[in-house]
């Protein structure tokens, strides 16, 4: 039997290479080809990344959960395959000059022997470090009523329970366990750095609002995504979107804690404007120093995370990525550090 590779290893393979890989079934979408024959788009994920593959009509799906192996129909197997650990045999091909992965056999593995949580991608930053940063940021809020409000939101009302383990996205950035906490802490620290810099240049910036807005800007993602065990977008995330969901959640907390009206307005504006442009999902554009800074920090944190993700999936000799429509550019690896 061939060696079981990681997804990162698979992405280093060249055309016509075969592979075995184990990961979580994060997405299964049934489609029809031009001849109305069914096929599947399947995504699997492990601790190092995601792999999208085609499963053509006639491919055998095996169930070997109980030790014995027998074929199943994924349409009528009696259980949900998404979220389960799969073994995949596949081959690297190409389509329109891009590498394409075909899954030629799929195995639903024994979930106790191969628990999904063992293949869950997690933040590369240790949880205790992220939690320490988070608590220090809250402790650094100088205005007592706002500090008390933030403590109440996360700990009295239980937001922390999901916030500290939730993903920040499904595929694009921080799409892993604790990604939301990592992203929010990174945005807060980056935004505070900018705010202090511009404060030195006599632009008045409220540091407390920066901290609160940065830590709260993406709370809607708790209702937009699930984390069981791989990140997945939920219906509210598609239909309402996390910016609006987050604003609604914040208003509920503000009412429960009787937050001062001016603080409510200022933080609401940061949440609603943090994507920076209406075409990116923000109902309003950032109009205050605090909103502009949080939006800028959010944008650069996303782009740097996306840059890192792109090059982690490419061989070290690739210096420039393919064109990335999402951000309307290619990424360059840059010159080696000296």
Task: Using the CB atoms, write b or e for 174-202: b if 16+ within 10 Å.
Answer: bbbbbbbbbbbbbbbbbbbebbeeeeeee
Torsion-angle region of residue 333: left (phi > 0), alpha (psi -120 to 50) or beta?
alpha
Q: What digits encode the pLDDT tens for the residues 210-230?
A: 999 999 999 999 999 988 777
Find, among 50, 164, 40, the residue nearest to 105 by Cα.
40
User: For the segment 111-169, what is each residue's pLDDT rounded down to a tens digit?
Assistant: 989 988 888 888 999 999 999 999 999 999 999 999 999 999 999 999 999 999 999 99
pLDDT more than 90, % of the chain: 65
| Measured distance between the N- and C-terminal CA atoms of the chain, rounded to whole angstroms | 42
Contact 194, 217 (CB under 8 A): no
Position 82 confidence tier, pLDDT thresholds 50, 70, 90: confident
pTM: 0.82
pLDDT category at 35 given cuts 50, 70, 90 is confident
- Segments in 38-126 forming alpha helices (H): none
Rounded to whole angstroms, how far apart are CA atoms 125 and 62?
36
Structure tokens at 162: 């999901």
Domains and CATH numbers, the chain: 4-118 (2.40.50.140), 127-312 (1.10.3210)
Q: Rg of the chain's alpha carbons, rounded to an integer? A: 22
């Amino acid at each position: 039997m061939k060696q079981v590779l990681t997804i990162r290893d698979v992405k280093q393979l060249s055309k016509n290479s075969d592979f075995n890989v184990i990961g979580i079934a994060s997405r299964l979408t049934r489609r029809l080809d031009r001849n109305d024959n069914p096929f599947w788009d399947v995504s699997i994920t492990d601790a190092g990344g995601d792999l999208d593959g085609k499963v053509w009509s006639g491919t055998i799906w095996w169930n070997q959960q109980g030790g014995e192996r027998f074929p199943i129909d994924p349409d009528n197997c009696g259980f949900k395959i998404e979220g389960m650990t799969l073994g995949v045999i596949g081959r690297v091909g190409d389509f329109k000059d891009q590498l394409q992965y075909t899954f030629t056999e799929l195995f639903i593995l024994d979930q106790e022997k191969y628990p999904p949580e063992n293949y869950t991608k997690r933040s590369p930053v240790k949880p205790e470090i992220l939690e320490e940063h988070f608590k220090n940021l809250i402790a650094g809020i100088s205005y007592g009523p706002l500090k008390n409000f933030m403590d109440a939101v996360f700990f009295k009302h239980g937001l922390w329970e999901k916030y500290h383990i939730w993903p920040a996205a499904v595929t694009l950035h921080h799409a892993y366990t604790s990604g939301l906490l990592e992203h929010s802490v990174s945005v807060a620290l980056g935004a505070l750095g900018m705010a202090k810099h511009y404060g030195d240049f006599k632009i008045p910036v409220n540091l407390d609002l920066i901290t609160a807005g940065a830590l709260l800007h993406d709370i809607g993602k708790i209702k937009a995504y699930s984390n069981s065990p791989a990140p997945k977008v939920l219906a509210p995330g598609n239909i309402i979107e996390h910016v609006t969901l987050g604003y609604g959640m914040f208003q509920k907390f503000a009412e429960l804690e009787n937050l001062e009206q001016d603080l409510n307005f200022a933080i609401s504006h940061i949440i609603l404007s943090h994507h920076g442009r209406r075409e990116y999902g923000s109902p309003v554009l950032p109009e205050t120093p605090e909103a502009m800074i949080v939006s800028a920090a959010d944008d650069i944190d996303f782009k740097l995370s996306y840059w890192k993700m792109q090059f982690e999936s490419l061989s070290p000799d690739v210096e420039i990525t393919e064109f990335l429509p999402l951000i309307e550019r290619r990424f360059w690896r840059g010159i080696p550090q000296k």
